[in-house]
Structure 1
Amino acid sequence: MISAIILAAGMSVRMGSPKQLLKLGDKPLIRIVTENVLASSVDEILVVTGYKENQVSAVIKDLPVKTVINPCYEQGQGTSLAAGVKNLPVDTEAFLVFMVDQPFITSLLINKVIEEFKKRRCLALRPVCNGQPGHPVIFSYDLSAQLQQLAGDEGARPVLKKLGSRVEYFTVQDQAAIFDIDTPEIYESLKSLNKLTLN
């Protein structure tokens, strides 16, 4: 089983409002990201909520996903990832991690990551675009114990750093792998787009 964890619990302090509820077109980011993952070959999806939990859950309540509430979301992204990993099905072979501010990652890119992981059978695999490591990262379930210990706001970075050369990479041409909506300026520039594409 290949699972997915979508991190949608943060307060988005730099953005000034919760990213998960920002809209592109008529859809909030959490809805866009979740639908993109649902369109892929992922078998199970967990959405980790926290800040504005009721509003975020309401946006995706009709979708076939499992919601996990992180009561420690104020302590950072690491706690949300840990909460997601703790709730993975026991028969999970590997899992991908998604950020709510990357709505351009398509099912095509997700499936490429999964296919490459199945070929390599490594501990962690990350797409690279223009020489820059991107998302989504896929982890072997063998790393679940380490990821369940995460805290702070660095997400999976401490585990990836500890793995060092055991993290594998593969090149993609899709700019979505390295693009996120990180500032109000980027968001404002995207709101006028008619379709979700970077290419």
Structure 2
Amino acid sequence: MRRVTAPVGILLAAGRGTRFGGHKLLHPLPDGTPLGVASARALCAALDRVVAVVRADDAELAAALRAAGCETVVCSRAEEGMGASLACGVDATSDAAGWVIALADMPFIQPATIAAVTAALAQGASIAAPVLDGGRRGHPVGFAASWCEALRALSGDRGARELLHGHRDELRLVPTVDPGCVADVDSPGDLAGACARSSP
């Protein structure tokens, strides 16, 4: 299989966000941008191709993400969890030179952080992820093309965490001062706190 020369962004947007109490990814940020669209725009700003993985019953979100610059892939196994959604996204882009995997409920990641992870892959990293102020590992996480089959085999709700835990010696940490790389939104309270931290 001929591989394309650049990594592809994968935006995982197939969750239901039940803890949020509504459609989390369409919830507006203070500037009116839907939360999931903000995540998509950051990924699209740093990568030439971005594929968003969505549920079959989420046409409104899929349309919003396409308008933001993403391709969309419907995951028929989305109810199995994040691992199945990630496998679906990689399967749809299996000719990529690698993948930069982002979560749609992390709208405050800066494009520069995504670009730095992408650059680490281009420089030969097997796995790459940002690390905030030398401490907490964040998102997105990049995987080189050699991880294709392992990613396509994922299932359940743990995403790629087991791969990361089992191959820490292959993980290149990319220093960042971007607090958005660790700011995921599970509840309205998380959103309010993240907005406050990201305000100048």
- Checking the alignment, whether the CA contact within 8 Å between 1:126 and 1:136 is kept in structure 2 is yes
Partner of residue 109 from structure 1, selected from 113, 123, 128: 113
Change (3 A) 1:170 1:39: closer
Residues of 2 paired with 1:118 and 1:95: CA distance?
Answer: 11
Corresponding residue number in structure 2 for 1:141: 145
Q: Considering fraction of residues, name the structure with more helix.
A: 2
Cα deviations by residue, 1:173-193 (Å, 9 ceiling, x for unpaired): 1111111112221224567x6
- What secondary structure does 1:127 align onto? strand
Corresponding residue number in structure 2 for 1:33: 39
Corresponding residue number in structure 1 for 2:20: 15
- What secondary structure does 1:126 align onto? strand
Residues of 1 paired with 2:84 and 2:21: CA distance?
Answer: 21
Corresponding residue number in structure 2 for 1:126: 129
Partner of residue 59 from structure 1, selected from 61, 64, 72: 64
Corresponding residue number in structure 2 for 1:3: 8
Change (3 A) 1:159 1:19: same
- Checking the alignment, whether the CA contact within 8 Å between 2:7 and 2:98 is kept in structure 1 is yes
Letter in 2 for 1:16: G
Residues of 1 paired with 2:193 and 2:132: CA distance?
Answer: 22
Q: How many residues align?
A: 193
Partner of residue 167 from structure 1, selected from 154, 168, 171: 171
Letter in 2 for 1:197: S
- What secondary structure does 1:38 align onto? helix
Letter in 2 for 1:185: G
- Checking the alignment, whether the CA contact within 8 Å between 2:65 and 2:72 is kept in structure 1 is no
Residues of 2 paired with 1:108 and 1:164: CA distance?
Answer: 24
Residues of 2 paired with 1:51 and 1:129: CA distance?
Answer: 35
Corresponding residue number in structure 1 for 2:92: 87
- Checking the alignment, whether the CA contact within 8 Å between 2:101 and 2:140 is kept in structure 1 is yes
- Checking the alignment, whether the CA contact within 8 Å between 2:179 and 2:198 is kept in structure 1 is no
Corresponding residue number in structure 2 for 1:100: 104
Residues of 1 paired with 2:169 and 2:199: CA distance?
Answer: 30
- Checking the alignment, whether the CA contact within 8 Å between 1:78 and 1:150 is kept in structure 2 is yes
Cα deviations by residue, 1:67-92 (Å, 9 ceiling, x for unpaired): 100111111111100000001151x1
Letter in 2 for 1:35: R
Residues of 2 paired with 1:117 and 1:61: CA distance?
Answer: 26
- Checking the alignment, whether the CA contact within 8 Å between 1:32 and 1:103 is kept in structure 2 is yes
Q: With structure 1 as the length reference, what TM-score do the two structures score?
A: 0.88
Residues of 1 paired with 2:140 and 2:199: CA distance?
Answer: 16
Listed as ranges, the gaps of 5+ residues in structure 1 are none
- Checking the alignment, whether the CA contact within 8 Å between 1:5 and 1:98 is kept in structure 2 is yes
Identity fraction in percent: 27
Corresponding residue number in structure 2 for 1:184: 188
Residues of 1 paired with 2:8 and 2:190: CA distance?
Answer: 30
